[in-house]
Amino acid sequence: MSEAQAEETVLDVKNLQTVFFTNSGLFRAVDDVSFTVRRGETLAIVGESGCGKSVTALSIMRLVPDPPGRIVGGSVTLEGTNLLDLDEAEMRKVRGNRISMIFQEPMTSLNPVMRIGDQITEVVQLHQTMSNKQAWAKAVEMLRLVRIPEPERRAHEYPHQLSGGMRQRAMIAMALACRPTLLIADEPTTALDVTIQAQILALIVDLQKTLGTGLVLITHDLGVVAQTAQRVIVMYAGKKVEEATVEDLFENPLHPYTRGLMASMPAVISLEARADARLTEIPGMVPSLTNLPVGCAFAPRCSLAIDRCRAEYPPLQEFDGKHLAACWRAAEKVAAP
C-alpha cells in the first residue's frame, strides 16, 4: 500500500478472529479475516446466512456478546487507533461518533418510549458539547437530511408512529448525526418492501458520498452489491474466500462458491427462456463451524473439488492485480475464463 493510499484508509482489519464458546465446542465465527476501507469507499461483505458477515461487523464495533463470544486475535484499526486496545469507556466515545452502525430491524435499535428527536439529541449530546436547543435543532436537521417529510413534526413522534421505511431513515439520521468516518450497514433493507429498499440504499450511498464516509455494506444480495459497492469480500464458513473490485468479481468470479451465489441470483427472464426455467442452487448446506471438514470448507458442496481440496485449505492467492481467491483451482479459471 502506498503512502497516499495509507492516508486514505479509514479502517484496517488484520487477521481478525472471533470465536464463541458453546456446549458443542469452539465456534470460529470469524477466522483470520483481513480487509481495508478507504474514505468515501463502499466495501460489500457478502455470503449466506451464518458465514460470519454480521459477527465481523459486531467485532469491528466491539459489540460481540462476551460471554459466549470473544475476539481472540487480530487488530481493528480506525484512523490509526486499534479499537481492540481500548477499554469499554474509551470505546463508548468512539461508537456513534467516529464509527456508527445501521442494523437490520430499526425497532430493535430504537427506544420505543422515547421520541425520535430525543434519541438523536441524546447521541449528539453524548459526543458533542451542545445545549438542548442546539441538539434538538441538529436532530431536526438530520431528519431533513434523510428526507423525512415534516421533520419538525416527526421529531416529536415515537417509533411506533412511523412506517418501517421512516424508522430506517431515522436510524440512518442517528447513525450519521456525528458525521462518522466509518458507517457499517448490516442488511439495512431486509425488513422493507422492494420499493422502499431501493430508496433507502440510494439514500445511504448519496449521504455517504456527501459526507465522505467509508461504508461497510453487509448483505446477501448481489444485486445490491452491483448497484452500490466498489469492492467486494465473499465470506464462507467464517473465512474470506474471495476479494475483488465489483467489476472484476462480476466479470470473472474465481471461487466456485462465488459462482454458485451468482448462478442462484434471479434474473429477468428473456423472451427465449423456457417457461419452466429454474434458478441454480448450491447443493448441500453450510457446515457447522464447530465441526468444519479438513481442507476447504466448501469442498463437500463443490463440483470442482479435487483430493487436494479435501486435504489442505487453500491460501488466499492474488490473481490479475488485486483479485484474491482461496481456491486450489482458481488459476485454471484465470487461464481459461
Contacts of residue 39, Cβ cutoff 8 Å, sequence gap at least 6: 8, 9, 10, 181, 212, 213, 214
Count of C-beta atoms within a 10 Å radius of residue 184: 27
Beta strand pairing call for 214-219 and 42-46: parallel
Beta bridge partners of 30: 18
Question: Which residue matches cell numbers 441538539?
Answer: 135
10, HSE (Cβ side, Cα atoms, 13 Å): 20
Which residue in 57, 99, 84, 79 sits closest to 9, CA to CA?
Answer: 79
- Report residue 86 as a C-alpha cell: 481500548
CB-based contact 255:325 (threshold 8 Å): yes
Confidence of residue 1 (pLDDT cuts 50, 70, 90): very low
pLDDT at 210: 87
Residue with cell 456525528: 178
Instruction: Dig out the grid coordinates for 85 from the structure.
Output: 486496545
Give residue-wise pLDDT tens across range 286-301.
888 888 889 999 999 9
Give tens-digit pLDDT for 109-118: 899 999 999 9
Which domains does the chain possess?
1-39+50-81+214-269+279-336 (3.40.50.300)
Q: What is the pLDDT of residue 267?
A: 59
Helix (H) or strand (E) holding 188: none
> Residues with Cβ < 8 Å from 274, sequence gap 6 or more?
none
332 is written with which cell numbers? 485454471
Render pLDDT for 18-50 as a digit per residue (tens, 0 to 9).
Answer: 999 988 888 999 999 999 999 999 999 999 888
pLDDT at 196: 85
Geometric angle at alpha carbon 74, from 317 and 49, rounded to 5°? 70
Say if residue 86 is exposed, middle or buried (CB neighbours under 10 Å; 0-12, 13-18, 19+).
middle
Rounded CA-CA distance 322/249 in Å is: 11
pTM to 2 decimal places: 0.89
